[in-house]
Amino acid sequence: MKGTGTLVRNAVLALSAALASQAADASMMAQPQVTGHVTALASSGVVVVDGRRYLVAPNSVAYRIISSLHVGDAVSLYMDGPAQSSASHVTAIQVANAP
């Protein structure tokens, strides 16, 4: 029975470590993939930051805020994939506070 107790103890320790790791990951803040200035607003589904076009995800937080953006606004873009991928979409936009 000594072996069973050790096995259970090791399983509990492994599970505890896994849960602690997930809790730490969940508490980390997401980092924006793109920061820069709005250089154009091509349509309600596209925002151009520093000359590069980014598609905005339909029905996202970004889609609802895009109509209030202005050329020259400093923004941070949060995306559902890599910024370099044409398949990624902007899901949230944070506008920097004006000085």
Is the domain covering 34-95 a CATH 2.40.50 domain? yes
Task: Look at residue 87 and tell me whether its pLDDT is greater than 60.
Answer: yes
Write the CA distances from 44 to 40, 57, 72, 79, integer angstroms.
11, 10, 17, 16
Encode pLDDT of 68-81 as tens digits.
Answer: 999 999 999 999 98
Q: Taking the CB of residue 78, how many other CB atoms lie within 10 A of it? A: 18
Report the b/e string of 58-73 with b at 16+ CB within 10 A: eebebbebbeebeeeb
Q: Confidence band (pLDDT; 50, 70, 90) for 31?
A: confident
Task: Look at residue 59 and tell me whether its pLDDT is greater than 70.
Answer: yes
